[in-house]
Structure 1
Amino acid sequence: MNTSQQAHKATMKPYRVNGKWYYPTQVALGETYEGIASWYGPKFHGKKTSNGETYSMYAHTAAHKTLPMNTIVRVTSKENGKSTIVRINDRGPFVTGRIIDLSNSAARDIEMVGKGTARVHLEVIGFNGTISDSMPLNQETLARSEYKVAHTQERMQLSHFLVQIGAFKNKSGAVKYQSTHANAHGYQAVIREYVAQGSPIYRVLLSGFKSEAEARDFIASQKIAGAFITTE
């Protein structure tokens, strides 16, 4: 990850780093890519990612230059055959030849921490933090994953923007928070469940934003602590 990316508030619109433009793209289940993976850890732990989350070196997440945020990717080392499952929540790496930046935990899964980089095969297996139930994955791989398996769309469209305004360990807390923001400023409050480090998290989001700029302006005007943009 390059620290200059932290200045980029946008998560889906084209952006420029070191004079080069990058264009986030639509993507379908099963699409594959190959390249060099690197990893980032303690230096960035606790800092903001490109979509506004707080980076944890212990979570299974990753940075990619163009895949939509919250895309789920299986990363397989071509050097030892080991694999891990990560969720894209950051932009990078901006080093020539590198395709993905893994969290420390994900890098440990494929035994590349000591070496620093590895040749990898990437496969898109889900969206919105959920592994698609249409993807053939072995039970060992799924057992190590932080993410739930459910039905997802076949392709990620970059047109539905939401703003996360809260996250709760208990569903009752999320439901109560949702009710108090049911129609906040004309936006509908919805709840989405996902699994983080083996435990369910209930996310409360506002939907109905017509563009990323509209969502970004809403966050700035309302000053909601910890709010960030996502898509579905």
Structure 2
Amino acid sequence: GETFDMHRPTAAHKTLPLGCSIKVTNKLNGRTTIVRVNDRGPFVPGRIVDLSFRGAQELDMVGRGVTPVVLEVVGEAPQDVSSPVQPASVSFYTLQVAAFSDRERARIVSEETGKVVSGATVRRVDTERGTVYRVHAGRFRSRADAEAARSTLARNGYPDAFIVTE
């Protein structure tokens, strides 16, 4: 897949062609969104698609983590072989658990998260809107391991955690 950007309407699917567009419908509320498949996954039994944060927001499913959906391919992958989707160089996967403007709150959540998934850290990021403290947890060589840890975090009170590649 490509470098992950949680703010783009993208998805991971095990078999659909990279670059194709899919319409995703939330079966619980009927909301739909169109996303582009740019990665492989999810590698968890029973799941059919991983959505970016933006895709999940558009379907109003961020807090749920896992939601029943229906997929429909609505656009084919580009056929131009001169510019195929290039895989990103991923050295490892980690989970972003939360982000805070308050450093102390981030530290507390990092401590609590570290009891569930090892390797919890706080990373300071300076943005044009101010400083943000991101709580990350774990360091995984495979997306499947990261997804398993994300599921564990969701069951332990952190349903909004998402996978980040580094």
TM-score bucket (shorter structure):
0.3 to 0.5
- Where relative contact order (Cα < 8 A, 6+ residues apart) is larger, the structure is 2
Q: Which has the larger radius of gyration?
A: 1
Structure having the higher strand fraction is 1
TM-score (norm 2): 0.48
TM-score (norm 1): 0.36
